[in-house]
Amino acid sequence: MNRFAFTNCDTLDQALSALTPGAELKAGGTDVLDRMKERISAPEKLVNIRNIQALRGIDESSTGLRIGPLMTLGEIAEHPAIQKNYTALANAAAHAATPQIRNMGTIGGNLVQRPRCWYFRSADYDCRRKGGETCYAQIGDNEYHAIFHNSICAIVHPSSTAVPLMALGGSLDVASSDGKRTIPLETFFLLPEQNWTRENILRPGEIITAINVPKPASTARSAYQKWAEREGTDWAIADAGVVLDMDGDTCRKAAIVVGAAAPAPLRMHEAEVMLAGKPITEETARAAGKAAMVKASPLTHNAYKIPMFEVAIYRTILLTAGKMGPDPSAVGGRA
């Protein structure tokens, strides 16, 4: 880890003025310290926002949920209102990383953490995302990599909370010294075709100030499931967040987002279209899973993800609709 100056902020204004070129934000610190230890990041200054009380808090109202970005994953996972009305988000937070990291890592940090691709995380690989010429995952060890949008850079986006948040139609409030804006999560993340050195459209000097989730319709239900090699602590090899707005047995509208499939959380429009106006059954759910994977373009070692996602989507649709229990093969599924 390089030596650095440290600015401890109590207010958002302090943080915004401290966030000068060469500085990096630190909230929970679990991502930035890892990058610094791996020597792929070497900020001159860390701007510590972890103690800014104004960026904490969970507020549930009739219009929706407003979450302070410094709330830890553990706090979100255990929040009764989120567990009840935004179950998919609570589940995603509950199954990220380890209990210890969930007590440190914040939801804001979870959304903007850098990828876990082993070529990106190694100082020995001057990969394309770090400004180099090559994406080593293309012909390298790519078993955990993207099956969509992977021809330029094959990372998968590491955030599990982004998956349900996007499915639930969430948005981010961000601030900079120039002002404020609100960004729907749908447009927040970048694919390599847009920019292969950044994962989102946050500008230098901008800080997330709130995560908003609109209140789902009373007829809507949501679920999230994650699959990994290990059953406890592990990175997703597939995860799925589903929101179904139901009219009796018929699906009025579906939002289906997958993680660990692409360099950004990805909406599965083909699958959503297949469900609209149809009853949720084993057949329709399976068909949706299949439809979602039609355009997948796997690499040398990750074609196994295609059948996995087909099933992940189908099972999560049925779970959402209450027609199947939580998947025992999913992370935490046996708890």
Partner 1 sequence: MSKDTEKAPEQVSKHGLARRGFLKGAGIGAAGASVLDGVNLFAKEVAKSSDAPTVGPGRVPISLHINGKPYRLLIEPSTTLADALRYELGLTGTKVVCDRGSCSACTVMLDKMPVCSCMMLAVDVENRKITTIEGLAQNGELHPVQAAFVEHDALQCGFCTPGMVISCVALLERNPNPTLADVKLATSGNICRCGTYPKVFDATLAAAGAKRA
Partner 2 sequence: MLMKFVDDSKENVPKRSESLIVGIKGDDMHQAQVQIPTEEPPPLPENDRLKAIGKRATRWDGNLKVSGSGKYTADIRLPGMLYAQMVDATVPHAKVVSIDTTEAEKMPGVKAVHVVEHVLGNAQLRDPKQELPSKYPIVRYAGQPVAAVAAVSPQLARAAALKVKVKYAPLPFVVDRDDARKHDAPLVYPGPADQAGTAGGGGGPKNVPQVGNVHGPAEHKVGYIDEGFSDAAEVVEARYITQVQTHSALETHGVVADWKPDVLTVYASTQGTSTVRDELAYVFSLPKNKVRVITEYMGGGFGAKFGAGNFGVVATHLSKKAGAPVWLMLDRQQEHLSVGNRPDSDQSLKIGAKKDGTLSAIQLVSYGTAGCGTGAGCSGPAINMYKCPNVHTQEYDVFINGGPAASFRAPGHPQGCFALEQSIDELAEKLGMDPLDFRDKNDEFEPRRVERRIGRAKFGWDQRRKAGSDPGPVKRGMGVAQAVWYRIIHMDSAAEVRVHQDGSVELMSGVQDIGGGIKTVLAQVVAEEFGLTPKDISIRIGDTQYPSGPPSGGSCTTASITPAARNAAYQAKLAFLRSVAPALNVSSDDLVLQDGHVRSKSDSSKSWTFKRAAAKMRTSEIAARADRVPDYKNVGRRLNYGGVHFIEISVDTEMGHIHVERALAVQDCGRPMNPLHLESQINGGVLQGISYALYENRILDKQKGLMVNPNFDFYKVIGAQETPKIEIHVIENYLGLSSTDAGGIGEPSTMATAAAIANAFYNATGVRMRRTPMTPAAVLETLGKVRSVTA
* Site residues for partner 1 per CB under 8 A: 1-11, 13-15, 17-18, 26, 29-30, 33-34, 36-37, 45-46, 48, 50, 74, 97-101, 103-104, 232-233, 332, 334-335
155 binds, among partner 1, partner 2, none (CB under 5 to 8 A by kind): none
DSSP 97: S
# binding residues, partner 2 (CB under 8 A): 42
CA 96 to each of CA 32, 37, 130, 174, 187: distance values in angstroms, whole numbers, following the listed order = 17, 21, 25, 24, 23
Which amino acid is located at 22 in the chain?
G
CB 17 → partner 1: shortest distance, Å?
6
45 binds, among partner 1, partner 2, none (CB under 5 to 8 A by kind): partner 1
CB 299 → partner 2: shortest distance, Å?
7
Backbone conformation region of residue 205, classed left if phi is above 0, alpha if psi is from -120 to 50, else beta: left
Q: Which of 45/215 has CB closer to partner 1?
A: 45
| Residue 268 is a binding residue for partner 2 (CB under 8 A) | no
87 binds, among partner 1, partner 2, none (CB under 5 to 8 A by kind): none
Contacts of 180 (CB under 8 A, 6+ apart): 173, 174, 209
Q: Are 302 and 144 in contact (CB under 8 A)?
A: yes
- The pairing of beta strand 64-67 with beta strand 58-60: antiparallel
Site for partner 2 in 116-155 (CB under 8 A): 116, 118-119, 122, 124-125, 136, 138-141, 143-144
Backbone conformation region of residue 194, classed left if phi is above 0, alpha if psi is from -120 to 50, else beta: alpha
85 binds, among partner 2, partner 1, none (CB under 5 to 8 A by kind): none
Can you tell me the distance from the alpha carbon of 139 to that of 213, in angstroms, rounded to the nearest whole number? 39
Q: Which of 244/306 has CB closer to partner 2?
A: 306
Q: Which of 78/118 has CB closer to partner 2?
A: 118
Contact residue for partner 2 among 10, 44, 59, 229 (CB under 8 A): 229
Can you tell me the distance from the alpha carbon of 105 to that of 118, in angstroms, rounded to the nearest whole number? 20
CB 136 → partner 1: shortest distance, Å?
21
Can you tell me the distance from the alpha carbon of 311 to that of 118, in angstroms, rounded to the nearest whole number? 27
298 binds, among partner 2, partner 1, none (CB under 5 to 8 A by kind): partner 2
| Residue 231 is a binding residue for partner 2 (CB under 8 A) | yes
18 binds, among partner 1, partner 2, none (CB under 5 to 8 A by kind): partner 1
Q: Which of 78/141 has CB closer to partner 2?
A: 141
Q: Is 69 in a helix, a strand, or coil? A: coil
Signed CA dihedral, 92, 181, 256, 214: sign only? positive
Total Cβ atoms within 10 A of residue 152: 16
Q: Is 257 in a helix, a strand, or coil? A: strand
Q: What residue ranges bind partner 2 (CB under 8 A)?
A: 1, 3, 39, 116, 118-119, 122, 124-125, 136, 138-141, 143-144, 227, 229-235, 237, 298-304, 306-308, 311-312, 327-329, 332, 334
